Amino acid sequence: MSKAFDIGIEALATASPCEPPAAPAQTSPAGASGFRANEIPASAPNGKSFYIETFGCQMNAHDSEKVAGVLIERGYAAAESMAQADLVLYNTCSIREKAAQKVFSRLGELRYASPRKVIGVLGCVAQQEGEEIFERAPWVSLVCGSASYRKLPELVARLDEGGRRVTGLDLDTDETFETEITRRDNPIRAYLTIIEGCDYACSYCVVPHTRGPERSRASESVLAEARRLAGAGYTEIQLLGQTVNSYRDPSPRGLHFVELLREVAAVDGIRRVRFTTSHPNDFHRAIVEAIDDTPALCDHVHLPVQSGSTPILRAMRRTYTRDEYLEKISWIRAARRPISITSDIIVGFPGETEKDFEQSITLLDAVGYDSIFSFKYSPRPNTSAAAMPDAVPEEEKAARLAILMDRQRQIQIARNEKLVGGTFEVLVDGRHESRNQWAGRTTSNRPVNFTSPRQNLLGEYVQVKITRASANSVAGEQVI
């Protein structure tokens, strides 16, 4: 969904790891009500506290949950605010220029913080800028890229021992970041990373540079975590990966993505399984068949297209044409279940002509997306597109983005209006006190706001009759 359409109750849960929006900043509040108690083992407090601010996609949000787990395991407690924390960490995103700039502006705010406060930079900006961060912000003590998170316990131990500048910037790890505990901030939906890094080489993207090559987790480890989550009371799991459907089990079982999907969906107590982000190249008919015959797999596929023009897709090195993409869409549309399709689209890629842009607009109509994330192209360091000629002027990019968003808005209104009069199962994940409404999502990930005479609906599955529709959500009342 373009940023204007991103009205998710949980802002981060709607962003694509492959192409996250620029800056849906999230803080990690202390004592988040979302803790599932049996996920947090007791550990001896060390008298120190931490605060993490996260930029970017669900992958980053979930990395922060795991980093918090590492710190809690070492005896740290979550602080109520950045001001109170002994250790402040920024988990950064550099996929858009603005997000990277924002991190340095945040670091600037801590320039005159107490020297006892330890400040660290994690994630993509850490990987990209490396030790230069120490030059630009000498008050930073820790720089650790996302591919090196496995080293965090050791790095934090060095900080605890008084280390002034510690770094974890290797990209050559062949392991994934697994921790004994994860401090989950979302009480309704549990994120579960199954694959890290990326082996594609899209010409605009920093992820292969910042997150390193593709590494899948062993299926038994994924399934054990899914069972723990179910035991902790979660009923909805979202499997994560930059290219989640490229998953290939490294263990002797050698499961393919679809086999893993089916096994996670079969875990006792799990009612909904989502997965993000799929690469069109690895999107096979078997995924649609699995959704069709497995009720716990959600009716939703996020399939980033990036452009509707084959020449631009080629320049982006997306490895598929418009027609090949549309063929995959036709499989989804032929399913027995009404699968919702969402996507990411970039406008103003170098060399994008009016005609190329028009192809993106006609693609919106051809697919009928339920929502999209749309972005103006911005050149990123260490990407081949940054050196491409024929840059599209900023005003032109802005104008194209506005046209694209407007067309998509009309499509969403039309699609949502078709739901009026229908009744849908909604997992309740929020409450708008001022409007006296509950909020939740359907299996197709559509936001639903509704009224109910009942109390305490958070985490429950309820039936909601839809009475109104807008571009970004539908509204209705609970069927009792």
In angstroms, the CA 446 to CA 472 distance is 8
Nearer to ligand SF4, 277 or 408 (CB): 277
- Look-up of token digits 């009923």: 235
Interface with ligand SF4, residue 228, by CB under 6 A: no
- Position 36: which residue type? R
- Smallest separation, CB 439 to ligand SF4 (Å): 30
Nearer to ligand SF4, 24 or 212 (CB): 212
The stretch among 173-181, 195-203, 329-337, 411-419 that binds ligand SF4 (CB under 6 A) is 195-203
Nearer to ligand SF4, 313 or 426 (CB): 313
Instruction: Number of residues interacting with ligand SF4: please give it, by CB under 6 A.
Output: 12
- H/E stretch holding 395 reads helix 394-417
Tokens of 394: 């900023």
One of 24, 120, 168, 208 touching ligand SF4 (CB under 6 A): 208
Interface with ligand SF4, residue 205, by CB under 6 A: yes
Nearer to ligand SF4, 74 or 279 (CB): 279
In angstroms, the CA 306 to CA 320 distance is 11
Nearer to ligand SF4, 18 or 363 (CB): 18
Nearer to ligand SF4, 242 or 443 (CB): 242
Q: Counting every residue, how long is the chain?
A: 480
Q: Is 447 helix (H, G, I), strand (E, B) or coil?
A: strand
- Smallest separation, CB 293 to ligand SF4 (Å): 28
Interface with ligand SF4, residue 279, by CB under 6 A: yes
Interface with ligand SF4, residue 68, by CB under 6 A: no
One of 142, 147, 198, 290 touching ligand SF4 (CB under 6 A): 198
Nearer to ligand SF4, 310 or 470 (CB): 310
| Residues 6+ positions from 136 with CB-CB distance below 8 Å | 104, 107, 129
One of 13, 59, 88, 202 touching ligand SF4 (CB under 6 A): 202
304, 64, 206, 319: CA torsion to nearest 10: -30
Nearer to ligand SF4, 207 or 469 (CB): 207
Interface with ligand SF4, residue 93, by CB under 6 A: no
CA 63 to chain centre: 10
Interface with ligand SF4, residue 72, by CB under 6 A: no
Which of 210, 202, 130 lies closest to 168 in space, CA to CA? 130
Nearer to ligand SF4, 238 or 276 (CB): 276
Interface with ligand SF4, residue 56, by CB under 6 A: no
- Smallest separation, CB 193 to ligand SF4 (Å): 14
Interface with ligand SF4, residue 128, by CB under 6 A: no
Interface with ligand SF4, residue 315, by CB under 6 A: no
Nearer to ligand SF4, 57 or 142 (CB): 57
Tokens of 114: 């107490």
One of 243, 309, 340, 378 touching ligand SF4 (CB under 6 A): 243
Interface with ligand SF4, residue 242, by CB under 6 A: yes
In angstroms, the CA 271 to CA 296 distance is 5
The stretch among 199-207, 320-328, 438-446, 448-456 that binds ligand SF4 (CB under 6 A) is 199-207
Interface with ligand SF4, residue 212, by CB under 6 A: no
Angle between helix axes 322-333 and 354-367 (nearest 10 degrees) is 10
- Is the Cα dihedral 41, 43, 49, 54 positive or negative? negative
Torsion angles phi and psi, residue 268, rounded to 5: -55, 130
CA-based end-to-end distance of the chain:
32
Tokens of 295: 């009720």
Interface with ligand SF4, residue 200, by CB under 6 A: yes
- Look-up of token digits 């005479």: 453
In angstroms, the CA 419 to CA 92 distance is 38
Nearer to ligand SF4, 279 or 400 (CB): 279
Tokens of 14: 């709607």
The stretch among 1-9, 81-89, 178-186, 198-206 that binds ligand SF4 (CB under 6 A) is 198-206
In angstroms, the CA 9 to CA 439 distance is 7
Find out whether 476 and 452 touch, Cβ atoms under 8 Å: no
Partners of 87 in the β-ladder: 50, 118
Binding interface with ligand SF4 (CB under 6 A) = 18-19, 198, 200-202, 205, 207-208, 242-243, 279
